[in-house]
Chains A and B, each alone.
Chain A
């Protein structure tokens, strides 16, 4: 059992790191980004650091048409699946764009990842309002808007609609996970029945955006409900986190803001289980303040611009980062999702320096204490919502 003062720690994996020039670092392996070995190595390193989970970024659009940036990425669910049999404890949370995908396919894919990892699967749902991404599918058109302008009524309308749709998507995915009772498979030779069909349930979801009949073709996953997570920067996504997610990733600038955001999300929560709110930070780490700052400055120069992010950018020593995380944890955050500026440098600084530092302070686990991702997060395995209903 995680001690109450323990924080949760995750890393967000995006290519060879979040800085656009990270691929030029001497130890970076950019040409291997499209191999199973690369992802297995990186996630195994995160597991050596006893981290709760990794998230894997994804999207359908090419990152950019610039020739000096990493271009191309593999499907995140398949990357997670490719590493699942070769890891033992760490949670695997791929990003899925819900705006253009089928909840039925996504539900069984994450359920299958849960089987392949013996209970370590999650999903990070991402909404896409990009007209360019929509054009790859050709099934819907989005207006060209400045999405950063949250006061524009057209932006507000689009964002609200897409997040409402995302909430329906999550609801369908979750109902499908529950559409088989845990004990549906009976193998009763006497009656010739493999399943008890009273324990399989039509989900009969019908919403404004789509309807889905069910049941899933995949039995209820190991965790019952794999972990659902989402990133949010404002009220609309906070509502999605509060209503449908187990984990929310948020981007406070200081501990005061962290406190506010946690309160806002908790107030909107009406589910019986707690929501885990993780603070997101981009990290550039070094043995001294100067070394860390120097590394980031060198990368900025290679990229031709100072790196900026939606999340707080931390540059400094692992000990100073430990101080900051401890302060923000006191403001109510359950844990942190660190985005390494460069891989492997910043990833290894997390697993080999930050983690031992936190362990010395009694703030982080010294061994994995659970076999499932829900277990690591201190979440119970929920009963199926249709169990004992007996309808078909």
Chain B
């Protein structure tokens, strides 16, 4: 008996504040006007995508003590844009990153419950933790959390939010004009929660929302992050988009679910993926090279190098060879407010690798940075890309992809028009929405209040 083909899940990431997003192209529109978000969301919904995703950053990034000005700068408030998008879409899931460090559970739970009501059950929350005093300077509570306390706080934050959601069962409001009974239980919403992080009590003032609670995303890749996802998340925003890496990650995370009494299909693995399409594979490959050069200007290449070298390299020529000085191994001071910097665990070793690669392949600074940072996940004709996506999903490297276009707001159009129909023809992607909530799109079991604990 042949295994039935898995259904692919697809989502659209609004182009973000990083150098994947190409702003210098004539087709690049506003990153802040609502019309861009509306256009992008309508395309995603036309293509029957599961959801749209919006990232968040709570302090403008800095390099060398100055605001980083080479990428798109500026973004809207996540909740507000998603609520406005609920007005111009009907089925598309609305997912956003919301930081659990610079917020309080009561307020965030209330905002997501409101979004879920106002969208008819389409809200999703990518739970992230932040830790740095740099971002904390924008908040009255300030902020610094040691690494080990971050997931602990995120976990209790989420559990607290769930208690708030489950304080309403969904049957309380009858609003019977005749008898004058609005609420069948005056104690609806009652909660009391005390732990090391939160000591709160009262009555939650948003009745149970269509999904019961927002769909929960998790994006961390660490051991704690994977365990957190296995215990609490509905989907993982992963970065393992290749076959081999993806399969290892997929098996690892899905394997953790049984310990929490969860079935493998109740946690979706959705890597982020970039793409470049062309009429032919050759044309797409050529175009991909052009896009990579747009993404990594000479200035951007130097900035990337500075993040590893941890020193000012503005005097170097991006079209020349790599610096002969070594990285500064002192406290990391050059770049603040970006996550990627933390990944350079052994700067000397990486610098040695980069130098060797540049010498062997005769690469300039800019060439090298293009090679190591900007390679797209899917490059080819629509047929090639559709085939590659399907192959990865059927081989259990993922359950689908969160696509990251490089142009705002039209960067999804070609994918919607050419790749999606091919996936639909193969019977591996929906031609119409079957459900109305995001949980339904993702194939997640409906929640009951008791199942949350």
Chain A residues engaging chain B, CB cutoff 8 angstroms:
23-26, 28, 30-31, 34-36, 39-40, 59-63, 65-75, 77-79, 81-86, 100-105, 108-109, 111-113, 115-116, 118, 132-133, 135-139, 180, 185, 187, 189, 191-197, 200, 209-215, 217-219, 302, 392
Contact = CB atoms under 8 A, between A and B. Distances in A.
A214 B184 CA distance: 47
Nearest 10 A-B pairs (CB), nearest first?
Answer: A210-B140, A81-B83, A192-B299, A213-B137, A112-B80, A75-B114, A116-B84, A112-B76, A62-B203, A78-B83
B189 interface: yes
B76 A24 contact: no
A200 B67 contact: yes
Contact of B74 (A31, A133, A218): A218
- Residue of B118, B168, B200 with most chain A CB atoms under a 10 A cut-off: B118
Given A192-B297, A192-B299, A212-B137, A78 B203 contact: no
Contact of B111 (A36, A67, A75): A75
A36 B200 contact: no
B23 interface: yes
A31 B203 contact: no
Interface stretch (B31-39, B211-219, B341-349): B31-39
Given A23-B182, A69-B182, A193-B70, A61 B59 contact: no
Contacts of B148: none
A31 B23 CA distance: 46
A223 to B, nearest CB: 14
Contacts of A70: 182
B319 interface: no
B138 A104 contact: yes
A139 B104 contact: yes
Interface string B86-98: 1110000000000
B34 A137 contact: no
Nearest to A219: B74
A93 to B, nearest CB: 14
Nearest to B56: A217
- Residue of B83, B86, B182 with most chain A CB atoms under a 10 A cut-off: B83
Contacts of B202: 61-62, 132-133, 135-136
17 contacts: A30-B177, A61-B202, A61-B203, A65-B187, A67-B181, A72-B189, A73-B206, A74-B113, A77-B80, A105-B102, A112-B80, A136-B200, A137-B200, A192-B300, A212-B137, A212-B139, A218-B76
B55 to A, nearest CB: 11
Contacts of A213: 59, 137-138
B119 interface: yes
Contacts of A86: 87
A59 B202 CA distance: 13
Nearest to B37: A116
- Residue of B32, B84, B187 with most chain A CB atoms under a 10 A cut-off: B84
A63 B189 CA distance: 12
Nearest to A70: B182
A138 B111 contact: no
B107 A23 contact: no
B69 interface: yes
A74 to B, nearest CB: 4
B101 to A, nearest CB: 11
Given A72-B207, A194-B69, 5 more contacts: A34-B117, A75-B110, A81-B87, A103-B140, A212-B139
Interface in B102-133: 102-104, 106-107, 110-111, 113-115, 117-120
A200 B74 CA distance: 11
A36 B205 contact: no
A161 B299 CA distance: 49
Given A36-B87, A60-B110, A217-B58, A74 B182 contact: no
A193 B299 CA distance: 9
A145 B113 CA distance: 32
Contacts of A40: 87
A118 B34 CA distance: 8
Contacts of B201: 135-136, 138
Interface string B45-67: 00000000000011110000011
Contacts of A65: 186-187, 203
B180 A81 contact: no
B77 interface: yes
A83 B34 CA distance: 13
Nearest to A25: B177
Contacts of A214: 138
A66 B186 contact: yes
Nearest to A115: B34
A58 to B, nearest CB: 10
A79 B77 contact: no
A111 B78 CA distance: 12
A245 to B, nearest CB: 21
B70 A78 contact: no
Contacts of A115: 32-34, 76
B298 interface: yes
- Residue of B57, B58, B113, B186 with most chain A CB atoms under a 10 A cut-off: B186
A302 B177 CA distance: 10
Contact of A24 (B84, B111, B177): B177
B114 A74 contact: yes
Given A71-B182, A138-B200, A78 B38 contact: no
A36 B140 contact: no
A210 B200 CA distance: 22
A36 B198 CA distance: 32
Contacts of B204: 62
B24 A187 contact: yes
Nearest to A24: B177
A368 B102 CA distance: 40
B428 interface: no
Nearest to B74: A219
Interface string B183-194: 111111100000
Contact of B206 (A31, A74, A218, A392): A74
Given A116-B80, A187-B24, A194-B69, A217 B140 contact: no
Contacts of B209: 34
B175 interface: yes
B145 to A, nearest CB: 16
B79 A109 contact: yes
B81 interface: yes
Given A36-B120, A61-B205, A30 B87 contact: no
Contacts of A24: 177, 180
A67 B182 contact: yes
Contacts of B383: none
B72 interface: yes
A82 B118 contact: yes
A36 B119 contact: yes
A217 B57 CA distance: 8
A72 B173 contact: yes
Contacts of B198: 138
A42 to B, nearest CB: 14
Contacts of B119: 36
A302 to B, nearest CB: 7
A39 B58 CA distance: 30
A217 B173 contact: no
Contacts of A63: 205
A195 B407 CA distance: 18
